[in-house]
Structure 1
Amino acid sequence: MPSKHNVEADAASVEGNILRWTSGGDEGQVELDHIVCVVSSPNTALQAQGQGPGPGYRILFLESKEEKAQDQENAPMHLGKIDISTPLPTALTPFLTQIPTHLKSQQSANAEAEPIQVVISTRSGTGTAQTVFKDLVQPLLDGLGVNYQSHETQSAQSIISLSETQFLPQASAGVEQTIILLSGDGGLIDILDVFYRNKYDSTNGVQRMAAPNIALIPCGTGNAMASSIGLRSGPASSLKSLLKGKPVSLPVFAAKVSPGSMIVTEEGNGRASIPIAPTDSDTSDACDVSASQQVMYGAVVASWGLHAALVADSDTTAYRKFGSERFKMAAQELLYPSDGSESHRFRGQITITTRTKDPSESTDGIQQTILSEQEHMYVLATLVPRLEKEFLISPDSEALGGKMQFLRFGPMAPEDAMRLMTLAYQGGQHVREETVMYQEVVRVRIDFHEDEERWRRLCIDGKIVAVEKDGWMELCMEERELLNVIKL
Structure 2
Amino acid sequence: MASFVPTPGGHAIASWAFRSLRRCDRARPPLRINLTMPSEPTETDTAVTDDRVGPMGTADVGTAVAATPDDVLFVRSADAAFQVVTLSANGERVQVRDGVETAPAGARVLSGPPAIGGGPVTVVCSTKSGQGRASTVYRDAVGPLLRALDVAHTVVETTSAEHVAEIARGLGTGPQTLVVLSGDTSVHELINNVEAGDTLRLCVIPTGSGNALLTSLGATVRSAVAALVFGTVRPLSAFSVVLPPGTREAQPETETTPYRVLPPVAEPVQVYALVVASWAIHAALVGDSDTPEYRKLGNARFAKAAQENLARNEPWRGSIAYTPVGGGPAETVPGTEHSYVLLTGISSLEPGFVVAPDAVPLSGRFWFVHMGFLPGDEIMEVLMKAYKGGEHVHDPRTFYKEVDGLEVTVAAGEPDRMRRWCVDGRIFVSGEGAPVRVLKGGPTVRGRPVELLA
**TM-score of the pair, normalised by structure 1:** 0.72
Q: Secondary structure at the match of 1:334?
A: helix
1:91 maps to 106
Q: Secondary structure at the match of 2:94?
A: strand
2:93 maps to 78
| Structure 2 CA distance for partners of 1:316 and 1:269, relative to 1, 3 Å | closer
Within 5 Å, give how 1:6-405 maps onto structure 2.
29-41=66-78, 54-62=80-88, 77-92=92-107, 94-96=108-110, 98-105=112-119, 115-165=120-170, 167=171, 169=172, 172=173, 175-195=174-194, 198=195, 200=196, 209-231=197-219, 233=220, 235-267=221-253, 269-272=259-262, 292-315=267-290, 330-336=305-311, 342-355=312-325, 364-405=326-367
Deviations 1:82-123 (A, max 9, x none): 33431324422x354643253312xxxxxxxxx211011112
Aligned residues: 385
**Higher RCO (C-alpha under 8 Å, 6+ residues apart):** 2
Q: Secondary structure at the match of 2:93?
A: strand
1:454 maps to 417
Of the structure 1 ranges 261-270 and 453-462, higher mean CA displacement relative to structure 2 is found in 261-270
The one-letter code of the counterpart of 1:146 is V
Q: Secondary structure at the match of 2:97?
A: strand
Distance 1:464 1:230 in 2: 27
Q: Does the 8 Å CA contact 2:82/2:101 hold for their aligned counterparts? A: yes
Distance 1:139 1:316 in 2: 40
Q: Does the 8 Å CA contact 1:177/1:212 hold for their aligned counterparts? A: yes
Deviations 1:376-421 (A, max 9, x none): 1110111222211222111111111101211101232333322322
- What fraction of aligned residue pairs are identical, expressed as a percent? 29
Runs of 4+ more than 4 Å apart: 19-22, 273-276, 316-323, 325-329
Distance 2:288 2:236 in 1: 29
Q: How far off is 1:365 after superposition?
A: 4.9
Which of the two has higher C-alpha Rg? Answer: 1
Q: Secondary structure at the match of 2:350?
A: coil
Structure 2: runs of 5 or more not aligned: 1-60
The one-letter code of the counterpart of 2:313 is S
Q: How far off is 1:431 after superposition?
A: 0.7
Q: How far off is 1:425 after superposition?
A: 1.9
| Structure 2 CA distance for partners of 1:33 and 1:331, relative to 1, 3 Å | farther
Distance 2:443 2:69 in 1: 42
Q: Secondary structure at the match of 1:381?
A: strand
Distance 2:127 2:298 in 1: 17
Q: How far off is 1:35 after superposition?
A: 2.7
Within 5 Å, give how 1:373-452 maps onto structure 2.
373-449=335-411, 451-452=414-415
| Structure 2 CA distance for partners of 1:275 and 1:257, relative to 1, 3 Å | same
Structure 1: runs of 5 or more not aligned: 1-18, 23-27, 42-46, 48-53, 64-72, 106-114, 201-208, 277-291, 337-341, 356-363
Distance 2:198 2:338 in 1: 42
Distance 1:366 1:95 in 2: 51
| Structure 2 CA distance for partners of 1:454 and 1:81, relative to 1, 3 Å | same
1:108 maps to none
| Structure 2 CA distance for partners of 1:61 and 1:254, relative to 1, 3 Å | closer
Q: Does the 8 Å CA contact 1:346/1:377 hold for their aligned counterparts? A: yes
Alpha-carbon RMSD: 2.9
Q: Does the 8 Å CA contact 2:243/2:431 hold for their aligned counterparts? A: no
The one-letter code of the counterpart of 1:79 is V
Q: How far off is 1:251 after superposition?
A: 1.1
Q: Does the 8 Å CA contact 2:81/2:99 hold for their aligned counterparts? A: no
